[in-house]
Structure 1
Amino acid sequence: MSAPPPLSSRALRRQAIPPPHVYKPPPGPFYDSELSPNGVINLSTAENDLLSGRLIEYLSRPLAIYPPHLKYRNTLLTSELPTVEDLLPTYVNDHFHPLVQVTRENSVAGPGIGSLLAQLIWAIADEGAGVLLSSPFYDDYVRDIVHPSFATPVLANVPADVDSLSMEVFPYLEKSLHEHASPISGEDKHEIQVLLLCNPHNPLGQVVAREVVEGYALFAEKHNLHLVVDEVFGLSTFKSNYPPAVDAEFKSILSYDLAALGVNPARAHVLVGPTKDFGASGFKLGLLTSPSNPALISLIRPLFNATPISAASDLFFARLLADKPLVDSFLKENSLKLGQAYDFVAKWMEGHGLPFVRANAGVFVVVDLGPFIARMTGSADMSDQERLDRAVAAMLEEKVFLKPTTLMADPIPTRFRLIYAHPRPVMELALRRIEKAFGVREAPLLE
């Protein structure tokens, strides 16, 4: 039998990229109170289950399906039916208060933020060019930066004692940018062409203060970079009993007068989407907008002709987004429940003396399980990696999985990103399983 035909040169180059060290979630089954009560509780995936019941009830009501929903995307878009292309801009205008109104013409709707980011990077970064971001960072950005553009993530490694969401981050961004403009001996050169900011931040769970966002815009202008701002958690903010020291209110960069700052608005590109806010990430919808760069939008829009938003996602979310009173009510209730869920876990962490990064946004909190790990491993002669491996294995043995933030370039090797946006009984069971994994007492829980 002859050998199979060779892969393309592009595929071979991608195949040569070494995979990162990844703690993958187990294959399942995952916890369900009825179907799989002994399944693994997955606290690693940034999903929101707090209002799933309400959304399912709403989407289960009788729904009118028309012939255009069964045809190619272009048929639906050119029909008289409302689509997410029509309604997502309105959602952004109503809640993000942009200086320039977002329209169907200056935005692109696509099947998820990751897909939009990947095509955006393809359009604004050359092959091998650097996309600069600070640590810690959302690790799946690597996937979207590298494929399909073959651009390169470039980290500004921020020390553990420096707040990477403060003005103190800029010397580290400058250092990384200059090192890659004139690399030290033996290192590859990756000219920085893009600066990426996540606000609210993943994994740190905080709204980035306005002065810092403006600092990013000025940094991009100074170095002639594209500025990409991921605001997918912009409406998943909350008040709590454990706020950050700087409890900033989220303001979209779309609402900033960048020109008055001396920044060309055409360099700023923003990613938004409703699925995180509604706990429906599986519907895969997002919006890229760059109101001052119509040429870029025109370039990217046809890239989704082969991979459009599904008609089913459009059908469900078009009805949801058109119901403005429901949207307002849902967002308000989601904010309240996120704050309560965060407080529940924060009280537990406080009860165990576990350091954590105080949050005011998102569905996650970064917690340092160092005290638990030290108790479990004692004075054994082990590396940081070995201790982390043992901690992850111990939790998996008790059917709970958390993602270590070492995967996100966190300089603190004992921290984890813990997703708390689960119904109270599930979260309580997960915390008790963690305690059992490390052999610690049960801490009091909020009633």
Structure 2
Amino acid sequence: MASDAHTSASGLSDRGGSAASLFSSMAIWEVLQSLYDPATNPGGYVSLGVAENTLLHDTLSEHIHSNISLTNHAFTYGEGPGGSKRLKESMSRFLTKHFKPVVPIKPSHILVTNGCSGAIEHLSWVLANPGEGFLLGQPYYGAFPFDLKFRTGAKVIEVPFGKTDPLGLDAVAKYEAALLKAELEGTKIKGLVLCHPHNPLGRCYAPEVIVEIMKMCQKHDISLISDEIYGLSVWENTVDTPPTPVEFRSTLSINTEGVMDPSRLHVIWGMSKDFGANGIRIGSVISQHNPSLMSALGAVGLYSSASSISEHVTANIFDDKAWTESYLAQNRKLLSEQYAIAANWAKTNTIEYARGGNAAFFLWVDLGTAYRARHPDCKDEKVGDMVMKALLKEKVFLASGEGFGAEEDGWFRIVFSHPTVYLSEGLRRVLAALSTDQLSIQVEGLST
């Protein structure tokens, strides 16, 4: 109904009306307009829901301001919309060093985009026709469905795992079952999308699991898209480390001989997470063995071309090797410390969370059960909605598991990659929300 109203009242297309309805229903945009600051906006929202890493912003800012020196060439179209020659050369060296690919990454293997959302959408556009699908295991990064299908017309086939570990070997059979079911029902599957390390579970796929996924992709003639945007944000878990934590190993480092045609493998990486630089808007597609795909991506690259200033800043970072190594090491140390704060908070307050994380920025927590424990008379079937309203009433924003394909209601994603003062204020507000009486939960003027 809302979409029809937007369409008829404003002369929009059906897809335009749907987009308008979607945008107006998303609380995140209203939250970002009024963020908490202890001095200038103490009544604002503490956002622990957006995957941003603010821990080293001062360090990053200092490097950028100390090294920026643009030539007049930066004010032109440069070498085209797929990334400057300098940036692709610098990025290829950087990723070859850190991702340890079987075949060294060349500049021709890279398409630069203005963030990874555009990279994912481009891959969906070039790999799938409208109505064809991609497998996406639950839970998943909440923007994946929009990136994959919203403007391309592709479908997303969600893969539930039940009690099976989503990152374990047994999960491969679940993917295959979902593929066979979808194709039996008339949806041709064109690819499988991984987030490695995983968002929101904060773990890495073991190489043997990736190999089995690759074999399944080869068997069913589909592509493997591996989003590795958190690949360098792997840290030591000092709270609940599993006996043998799985370290990150890029899919590019796995020998595909006898496993999968390497032309099926496409990797995504960008500056947003490992360098805490969402706003710089630099992402990339790395595909080493499919020149036709890279040509197709080049044709749509104009719609996602990055700013020459952003490209210049990023190349400066990659070329300052000593600074970059120090930055990444410090980032890993701080992420480990902030995870410990968040995990110990959950333990102290009897809040269940997904243990064993050692990558990315997330604590995946069961606030629904914690809320019911504090409100034994709560009869609401959708406790997640109740918790979200309580969180917004306390002016703290988290990502709801409902938007991340959680198989159980009441799970939320807490982003812990913030300075301790900010993180602690957010966690304090989460606790206050869990104690909020149901009858007092009223949030006016804010969509949930």
TM-score normalised by structure 1 residue count: 0.89
Q: Quote the residue 2:223 is aligned against.
A: 226
Q: CA deviation at 1:110?
A: 1.1
Cα distance in 1, alignment partners of residues 44 and 18 from structure 2: 36
Kindly provide the amino acid, as one letter, of the partner of residue 218 in structure 2.
Answer: E
Cα distance in 2, alignment partners of residues 14 and 248 from structure 1: 43
Q: Quote the residue 1:438 is aligned against.
A: 434
Cα distance in 1, alignment partners of residues 81 and 372 from structure 2: 58
Is the helix fraction higher in 1 or 2? 2
Aligned residue among 389, 396, 405 for 1:393: 389
* Structure 1 pair 268–182 and aligned structure 2 pair: CA distance change class (3 A): same
Are 1:99 and 2:97 counterparts? no
* Structure 1 pair 245–192 and aligned structure 2 pair: CA distance change class (3 A): farther
Per-residue Cα deviation, 1:161-188 (whole angstroms, up to 9, x for no partner):
22111112122212211111112xxxxx
Q: CA deviation at 1:57?
A: 1.7
Gaps of 5+ in 1: 184-188, 441-447
Per-residue Cα deviation, 1:254-280 (whole angstroms, up to 9, x for no partner):
111101x43111111111123311100
Greater alpha carbon shift after TM alignment, 282-291 vs 245-254: 245-254
Cα distance in 2, alignment partners of residues 255 and 311 from structure 1: 30
Cα distance in 2, alignment partners of residues 4 and 379 from structure 1: 44
Asked whether the equivalents of residues 69 and 76 of structure 1 are also in contact (C-alpha less than 8 Å), the reply is: no
Are 1:124 and 2:127 counterparts? yes
Kindly provide the amino acid, as one letter, of the partner of residue 285 in structure 2.
Answer: L
Cα distance in 1, alignment partners of residues 81 and 197 from structure 2: 33
Are 1:38 and 2:38 counterparts? no
* Structure 1 pair 21–215 and aligned structure 2 pair: CA distance change class (3 A): farther
Cα distance in 2, alignment partners of residues 77 and 123 from structure 1: 15
Asked whether the equivalents of residues 232 and 271 of structure 1 are also in contact (C-alpha less than 8 Å), the reply is: yes
Aligned residue among 40, 53, 58 for 1:48: 53
Per-residue Cα deviation, 1:298-332 (whole angstroms, up to 9, x for no partner):
22123112431101211211211110111111111
Q: Quote the residue 1:186 is aligned against.
A: none
Are 1:360 and 2:358 counterparts? yes
**Residue 228 of structure 1 aligns to a residue in which SS?**
strand
* Structure 1 pair 62–178 and aligned structure 2 pair: CA distance change class (3 A): closer
Q: Quote the residue 2:5 is aligned against.
A: none
Gaps of 5+ in 2: 1-7, 437-448
Over the matched positions of the two proteins, sequence identity in percent amounts to 27
Q: Quote the residue 2:273 is aligned against.
A: 276
**Residue 243 of structure 1 aligns to a residue in which SS?**
coil
Per-residue Cα deviation, 1:66-117 (whole angstroms, up to 9, x for no partner):
1111222337999xx9732221111111110111111111221111111011
Asked whether the equivalents of residues 79 and 85 of structure 2 are also in contact (C-alpha less than 8 Å), the reply is: no
**Residue 263 of structure 2 aligns to a residue in which SS?**
helix
Q: Quote the residue 1:301 is aligned against.
A: 298
Asked whether the equivalents of residues 232 and 328 of structure 2 are also in contact (C-alpha less than 8 Å), the reply is: yes
Aligned residue among 177, 180, 193 for 2:179: 177
Kindly provide the amino acid, as one letter, of the partner of residue 41 in structure 1.
Answer: V
Cα distance in 2, alignment partners of residues 316 and 388 from structure 1: 41
**Residue 284 of structure 2 aligns to a residue in which SS?**
strand
Matches within 5 A, 1:47-126: 47-61=52-66, 63-74=68-79, 83-126=86-129
Cα distance in 1, alignment partners of residues 167 and 318 from structure 2: 32
Q: Quote the residue 1:141 is aligned against.
A: 144
Matches within 5 A, 1:187-336: 189-241=186-238, 242-244=240-242, 247-259=245-257, 261-336=258-333
Kindly provide the amino acid, as one letter, of the partner of residue 394 in structure 2.
Answer: E
Asked whether the equivalents of residues 372 and 378 of structure 2 are also in contact (C-alpha less than 8 Å), the reply is: no
**Residue 178 of structure 1 aligns to a residue in which SS?**
helix
Cα distance in 2, alignment partners of residues 373 and 306 from structure 1: 44
Q: Quote the residue 2:167 is aligned against.
A: 165
Q: Quote the residue 1:422 is aligned against.
A: 418
Greater alpha carbon shift after TM alignment, 11-20 vs 250-259: 11-20
Q: CA deviation at 1:376?
A: 4.3
Q: CA deviation at 1:16?
A: 6.0
* Structure 1 pair 76–147 and aligned structure 2 pair: CA distance change class (3 A): closer
Per-residue Cα deviation, 1:366-417 (whole angstroms, up to 9, x for no partner):
011134311443223321x2x2222112222221111111211111211100
Q: How many residues align?
A: 424
Cα distance in 2, alignment partners of residues 302 and 433 from structure 1: 47
Cα distance in 2, alignment partners of residues 284 and 110 from structure 1: 8
**Residue 108 of structure 2 aligns to a residue in which SS?**
coil
Kindly provide the amino acid, as one letter, of the partner of residue 370 in structure 2.
Answer: F
TM-score normalised by structure 2 residue count: 0.89
Cα distance in 2, alignment partners of residues 15 and 376 from structure 1: 41
Asked whether the equivalents of residues 91 and 318 of structure 2 are also in contact (C-alpha less than 8 Å), the reply is: yes
Asked whether the equivalents of residues 244 and 360 of structure 1 are also in contact (C-alpha less than 8 Å), the reply is: no
* Structure 1 pair 224–55 and aligned structure 2 pair: CA distance change class (3 A): same
Asked whether the equivalents of residues 384 and 411 of structure 2 are also in contact (C-alpha less than 8 Å), the reply is: no
Asked whether the equivalents of residues 73 and 308 of structure 1 are also in contact (C-alpha less than 8 Å), the reply is: no
* Structure 1 pair 224–403 and aligned structure 2 pair: CA distance change class (3 A): same
Q: Quote the residue 2:439 is aligned against.
A: none
Kindly provide the amino acid, as one letter, of the partner of residue 135 in structure 2.
Answer: L
Greater alpha carbon shift after TM alignment, 161-170 vs 58-67: 58-67
